Structure 1
């Protein structure tokens, strides 16, 4: 005979608050280990080439205020 009971790992409270979200993250964290790798080193500007920005995007970014204004 087949067991038809289903177990869902999802939280029962789908309208949870920040505390339940943090708890869900803490329970999932052991399942996704962080890969070991060294710190990234900065890339010298002389090695950055071939990047183009469309004029519309450049205007949009120029019109944006700085973060925290």
Structure 2
């Protein structure tokens, strides 16, 4: 059995990659408080405000395929 080892990392995607998306999420996670009790009901879009996403992450998510496509 051959054990192939890669010594060089894959080239970075200049538009953003999964690692940068995870890094953005880790930075934002510190700002999210976990409530003790959660009511499972939908939130109207008019109540969602103040969310900002770095442009690189937004482009990465926008480029991902959607299962509904």
Global fold match (TM > 0.5): no
Specify the TM-score bucket, using the shorter chain as the normaliser: 0.3 to 0.5
Higher relative contact order (CA 8 A, sep 6+): 2
